[in-house]
Amino acid sequence: MSEELNHEILDELKKINQKLDAMDKQRGISAPLKFIAVIIGFIIIGPMIMIAIGIISNFFK
């Protein structure tokens, strides 16, 4: 009886561990990487968009 109970508990713990692993995989990128992505967006992507808008607006003068 005790051996069977231990086996059931072990199976349940394995299921819980698998669920926790699945939740960790769905998390995505970390907060510091998101912060770096935002900084790169403002420093590089933003000015490039403004230059493109300036070039496009020169066509309509």
Backbone Cα Rg of the chain? 26
Confidence class of residue 59 from pLDDT cuts 50, 70 and 90? Answer: confident
What is the domain extent for residue 44?
3-60
Mean pLDDT, range 8-21, rounded to an integer: 91
Mean pLDDT, range 27-42, rounded to an integer: 85
Q: Diameter of the chain by CA atoms?
A: 88
Q: Would the pTM of this model clear 0.75, i.e. be above it? A: no
Strands (DSSP E) contained in the chain are none
> Residue 53 — left, alpha, or beta (φ > 0 → left; ψ -120 to 50 → alpha)?
alpha
- Number of folded domains in the chain? 1
DSSP annotation of 44: I
Predicted local confidence at residue 17, as pLDDT: 92
